[in-house]
Amino acid sequence: MDETHIVRGPPAPHNTSMGTRSLGELFLQILRKAPHSVVLVNGATGIEYTNGDILERALELAAYLRDHNVQRGDVVAIVAENRIEYAITMIALFLIGSTAALFNPNYTSRELAHALNTARPKMVFVSDGARVSLLQAIRSAQQLTSVICFDAVERSNTFADCLRRSSRRFAAHSFRPDPVDVSSEVAVIVMSSGTTGLPKGVLITQGNVMATMANLRAVIEMGLELRINVDVLPWFHVAGGIAMLNYIGAQVRTIFLPKFEPRTYLRCIAKFRPNFLHIVPPIAVFLAKHPLVDEFDLSSVEIIACGAAPLSKEVEELIYARLKVPGLRIRQGYGMSETTQAITYYDGEAIKPGSIGKVRPGQLAKVIDPETSRALGPNQRGELCFKGSLIMKGYIGQQGTGVDPDGWLHTGDIGYYDADGDFYIVDRLKELIKYNGFQVAPAELEALLLSHPAVKDAAVVGIPDERNGELPVAFVVRADGPEVSERELIAFVDGKVSNEKRLRGGVRFVGEIPKTNSGKILRRTLRELVKKQAKL
């Protein structure tokens, strides 16, 4: 392999598996070590859960699953918001070597039917809010799938019933998970975000999960102090679900919430005094711009980790200016479903707004020319590619592994790395707007719009134009206060960009920007809106 312009992360942490032979055995070891230590807290109710609480219930559920013929390698789906039963179910599945398929509880019955046909779970755990859609999806998918409801629902088999009804008992001191080949055994299936089509089932191995858990343990051992975290990222998404497992694995006390509700979120930060927040760009924009933020004390926050979508340096700077917390550091990471968790992370001492950081330990990266596939040097823009222990096994039902023959995952994201080896995202390869042969990055225009005090949120897409190819058009959510006009915003942007980047498609004011739960803008939805409006 040509080593020219290959960027290497630090050496992988030693003893990734901590001497265990499966992910189930690893969690058993971690949870048994300090049974009375509180590791999860329901932020809405204040109820605390110790390692012992979680392990006891996970073992009870594992026994029930074994009773009902759920075997090693079988798939069991979870369709729910963040809740304690979610974490317990995932760990129970790991204990018996089964695979957890994580489905979005906001999916329509059509989307759930697609997820069911993709992952083909033997059993599904569901919260009450998603139950009707799931049952419709099961009928549509024509699958024989056992359904267990996390909530007490009449004429339904419930989670509480499962914990009571097992004919066997597994004890923490004597239970022994089966040893497996962690590099090939699938631990988790996540559905890719589907911004360009129906979601694909991404296969994440036990070894993938162990590798990202080891990375977090390693940075804590090197001195990064993560005491308490307020977590609102959805656990069905790779950024939230794998992070939740990481926090339990590293014993970071996590205050979890079922969804983002502004006042509840801020109240939890003020009450529980976390020193660490894991967020996505929409929450970053909220922290930077929402007037409610000023009503709460956020002074305990020392680190804000942001991922799942690019965060502009303009929004970073607004957060620093607004919170005014001495020593606050905003750390961007970059990852996707196919990389298990963040595969780059910025942990340098210097403030580098916009950087997604260096390659994680044990991983490789390169930036290639999209036309020639030639690896590029520092400060040259191209497609980001990664290789290493965090890269998925592949996609369900698709030949090949989703990577090239040399093991490189091609992300479809455009970026570069600087002379220090710190990476930056420019935009999605397939989201670039082509105006008169020039490539225009929507993220750049969105960042400019968000820096305007009268703009609450913004998204930019290209609309077809016979003469020029595509024209950039902005969708804007106005902030509270004096209303800004289309003409003002166009002039604001035009004064800061080169000719080809001007908003020739205009500005359209909307109530909200459509996004996935992980914070990615649904540009396809906006393009379809443009088409509909053009027909009127």
Q: DSSP for 393-412?
A: -EETT-SS-SS-TTSPEEEE
d(CA 17, CA 34): 18
Beta-bridge partners for 205? 186
The SS3 call for residue 457 is: strand
Q: Is the four-CA dihedral 462, 466, 469, 472 of positive or negative sign?
A: negative
How is residue 130 annotated by DSSP?
Answer: H
Tell me, what's the pLDDT at 399? Answer: 62
Tell me, what's the pLDDT at 38? Answer: 98
Tell me, what's the pLDDT at 408? Answer: 94
Task: Specify whether the CB–CB gap between 507 and 486 falls below 8 A.
Answer: yes
Tell me, what's the pLDDT at 235? Answer: 96
d(CA 431, CA 524): 10
Structure tokens at 108: 């329509």
d(CA 347, CA 356): 9
Best CA proximity match to 517, nearest among 189, 80, 128, 99: 80
Low-confidence ranges of the chain (pLDDT < 70): 1-2, 193-198, 399-402, 535-536
Task: Specify whether the CB–CB gap between 145 and 157 falls below 8 A.
Answer: no
d(CA 352, CA 354): 6
Contacts of residue 221, Cβ cutoff 8 Å, sequence gap at least 6 = none
Give the pTM.
Answer: 0.86
Tell me, what's the pLDDT at 507? Answer: 96
Tell me, what's the pLDDT at 108? Answer: 86
Tell me, what's the pLDDT at 251? Answer: 96
HSE, side-chain direction, 13 A CA sphere, residue 14: 1
Best CA proximity match to 392, nearest among 242, 117, 184: 184
